[in-house]
Amino acid sequence: MLRSIEKPIRIRFQHTRYPHWGGHSGYTLFVRQLDPHRFRSTLHASSDRDVDLPSWLKPAKPVLKRLVARADMSWYELHDLHAEMNAIAAGMSGRFDIVHFLDGEHCGRYLPQFLKKAGRTRIKTIATFHQPSELAKDLLHADSLRWFDQVVLVSPSQLPFFREHVDEDRLSVILHGVDTDFFSPISRSNGSDRLRCITVGHWLRDWETFAAVAGAMPDVQFDVVANRDLPIKGLPNVKVHRAVDDLELVSLYRAADILFLPLLQSTANNALLEGMASGLAVVATDLEAVRAYVPDGDGLLLPERADDFVDAIRTLQRNPTLREELRRKARARSEALAWPRLVPCYEALYSKVAKS
């Protein structure tokens, strides 16, 4: 007797697309690495701008905007509601088994509740949340969390907040991954004698501390990659790079010696993972979330005092042996967080949720 072949689990992934995202960065990368024999995946991206909404929706905008206002989620906008409407239509037609909202702070306000109340309990919903608990309190409609079949977090530091609203058996922590093939070190990163630090990104960065450190170290080159105006003007040893493509970003990482990340808060951090994968010694703010990605001894994690950061960078400047040791440790840690290592966690999660 032939054993029946198990049908693949059909998953609709929903996320918000931002124009500054590169092709090798971000949370969506694991989707393409799921086993295609077991999972049939479709990735749907909604623009972060309401002007991109289809023209046929414009007459309904006044009504839809009232629904957006009622969502009580400060990052939930009209394009997010439109994405949920499309997902509802696809779900009612039976085109998927699971919908996974990849950035739950933006979406998932209505669909999970609608499916449960409509009796479509066969269709499961999952959401991943990325923001620190201090922000989540204001960004999320807490009551809506109870309708998800599973909630995924990217740092254990998020657990205290979500445990207040989600049962333990519906909570999972899966660390963020990185493309270690694309972000990789070269044999020598710095072709000059001048030490180079790189800081990438703008969200929740501590620019006051950054400016104090850069101002105290005029002999060190600081490269900053960010597409925003930053409060760090007037520092001759700081160069800001904007509109950087993937290849330029890799080149900047490889040209640096140290990844310098002064942070206000954090959960997962693309720049942290990419810098580690590029083989950079890590100097960053000591936060619980950062420690989850940079275990003891794999980097220099310090309190938010500029003097401590200056001392750490000077230590690495004077001690190339220590710098090289931290470079090796950072690369090794990134390889443990490479997406292929983490994909089995998602595959196990989807199999569990689909059978529940």
Token pair belonging to 160: 């205290």
> Tens of pLDDT along 185-241?
987 545 557 999 999 999 999 999 999 999 999 999 999 999 888 989 899 999 999
CATH code for 9-176+339-355? 3.40.50
Distances (CA, A) of 88 to 96, 123, 205: 10, 10, 37
Task: Give the distance, in angstroms, between the CA of residue 62 and the centroid of all CA atoms in the same chain.
Answer: 33
**Domain map (residue ranges) of the chain:** 9-176+339-355, 196-336
Query: What's the whole-number mean pLDDT along residues 172-186?
Result: 97
- Asked if pLDDT for residue 102 goes beyond 80, the answer is yes
Q: What is the pLDDT of residues 140-162, one digit of tens each?
A: 988 899 999 999 999 999 999 99
Average pLDDT, the chain: 90
> In this predicted model, which residue has the larger pLDDT, 86 or 33?
33
CA distance 336 to 151: 23
Are 354 and 97 in contact by the 8 Å Cβ rule? The answer is: yes
Task: Answer yes or no: is pLDDT of 292 > 60.
Answer: yes
Residue at token pair 């059909």? 10
Structure confidence at residue 1 (pLDDT): 37
Sign of the C-alpha dihedral, residues 287, 105, 178, 343? positive
pLDDT of residue 50: 59
- Give 83-97 pLDDT, tens digit per residue: 888 888 887 778 899
pLDDT at 342 over 90: yes
Which residue would you say has higher pLDDT here, 133 or 61? 133
Q: What is the mean pLDDT of residues 347-352?
A: 98
Residue 210: the pLDDT is 98
Q: Quick one: CATH architecture of 196-336?
A: 3-Layer(aba) Sandwich (3.40)
**Mean pLDDT of the 62-78 span:** 76
Q: From CA 119, how far away is CA 122, in angstroms rounded?
A: 8
Same CATH topology for 9-176+339-355 and 196-336?
Answer: yes
